Structure 1
């Protein structure tokens, strides 16, 4: 794998740790972002390219064998997603025929592309129902643009709700003294941020010439843990750990909502295979 030359487009909360993890393993990796290198806490062994992904040329990309697109929009609106996710995927797809060394291009999408909202079980073979959110529609279009341009070289990773030691939304809600009532059966799914970084690194570096590794390579990964949970159960469990009063049931919402995701991530890739192990880690490391 040392012959691989990796490019990570985006050096945010996920892209930067991906770049650093690959660099510390001795791989040839370049992090790309619009700001200067000094803006990012990059590992010494990582290379850096300051550029706008929308202006990348074949000459700049021709030596890369694997690319990961891990971006966030400048603004969280439909137009913001159009200007980032979709525009970048369409631009790179337009260069596909001129990048003969490129073997794999990975797009970090979202399970928000699944519009299903009645507690359905979803696996890697489930086609998405068109999502209601405009931003999710754009992300799905970005996936399709990349697949049309790169065919089977394109790999999609759809993470569920990302949480971690510094992503504490549910913990803050569990601490609230005046909680809103919660639906009895609203299903949710999540992945610890560090597990997502591992997943991306694994997918980027799988050797398709190795029989065992090739078996793990898929066109689509649902990057979520192995245990969906209702928000009611999650709040009750967190409230018990924190010594706070759990939320009451919203009796006006007696029907199932949300979705339940079947993870197709190898269990050995996950340090936190379920939400309880993830939140145990967060509670152990929380700052009081």
Structure 2
């Protein structure tokens, strides 16, 4: 039976709105917190607030029992990340009835991991962030678990998102500007946006959850294989050779823990997921 109290989605952007719509389909009330509620999809109830402004959170309704925290920093800068992920998370937990919270799912990223030379990585792999973003996300994870403990506090480390509206890679392939390393292979780890939303809905309701999960599809691929497959779908030239993406480390993310908990991706292979976006211009 759906919870009578709304699920608070704090930082309700693209993935958050997809999650909200999914929860509504199953009869769950939602409340979507963001600075500009006019940007919410029709039918989604909004709460206008800034996570960095503690005063703007004081009017949140009492009795909220489940929260998803997935804000978007205003800029790719350390101060912007600290503002939303550290100050913002603390502000939100302070504003809520913390003893009533049954589950808060914090969305972070695989940026908390370091360089692994293409080896497999899972939740037991020690984090070693290569950049400020990963370091701040890791600090936010520690903050959540210190405040709520395991099971009530749950972290979902997402891989790279793709899906409707996320076309930069496809545009680069069409334009012939995409470049990719080949030797040694550098691995792409991806998850389709609706699969990410479904994973969040799953973790909100999962009894006895672990403290950390990796959100990724079943098929990490060498970048040159993924790009070549997408170029073929697009009828575009194969990409040229170039350096690996900076600052993210070469690794293959394993989703075994999330799958064992009962979640399964609709799109287990990124190539099929992109094909479903009708990337073929014909």
Please give the per-residue CA displacement for 1:52-101, whole angstroms capped at 9, x wherever unaligned.
234265773531010110110111111111111121123345567x5222
How far apart are the structure 2 equivalents of 1:78 and 1:251? 25
Please say if residues 4 and 65 of structure 1, whose CA atoms lie closer than 8 Å, have aligned partners that are also in contact.
no
> Is the contact made by 1:9 and 1:70 (CA closer than 8 Å) also made in structure 2?
yes
Contact 1:90–1:142 under 8 Å retained in 2: no
Normalising by structure 2, report the TM-score: 0.86
C-alpha distance in structure 2 between counterparts of 1:145 and 1:251, whole Å: 35
Which aligned pairs between 1:147-186 and structure 2 lie closer than 5 A?
147-152=145-150, 153-177=152-176, 179-180=178-179, 182-184=181-183, 185-186=185-186
Match of 1:281 among 269, 276, 281: 276
Taking structure 1 as the reference length, the TM-score comes to: 0.84
Corresponding residue for residue 11 of structure 2 = 10
Q: Does the Cα contact within 8 Å between 1:62 and 1:99 map onto a contact in 2?
A: no
| Alpha-carbon distance between aligned partners in 2 of 1:233 and 1:219, rounded to the nearest angstrom | 33
Change (3 A) 1:245 1:202: same
The size of the alignment, in residue pairs, is 270
How far residue 118 of structure 1 moved from its aligned partner, in angstroms, is: 1.6
Tell me the secondary structure at the aligned position of residue 258 of structure 1. Answer: coil
Q: Distance in 2 between matches of 1:139 and 1:178?
A: 31
Partner of 1:196: 196
> Residue 178 of structure 1: CA displacement?
5.2
Report the CA distance shift for 1:287/1:29 in structure 2 as closer, same or farther (over 3 A): farther
Residues 62, 100 of structure 1: 8 Å contact kept:
no
RMSD: 2.5
SS of 2:64's equivalent in the other structure is coil
| DSSP-derived class of the 1:145 partner | helix
- Unpaired segments ≥5 residues, structure 2: none
1:133 is aligned to 2:131? yes
The runs of 5 or more residues in structure 1 that have no matched partner are 209-213
Say if 1:189 and 1:260, in contact at 8 Å, map to a contact too.
yes
1:77-226 equivalences in 2 (<5 Å): 77-94=77-94, 98-129=97-128, 131-152=129-150, 153-177=152-176, 179-180=178-179, 182-184=181-183, 185-206=185-206, 208=207, 214=208, 217-226=209-218
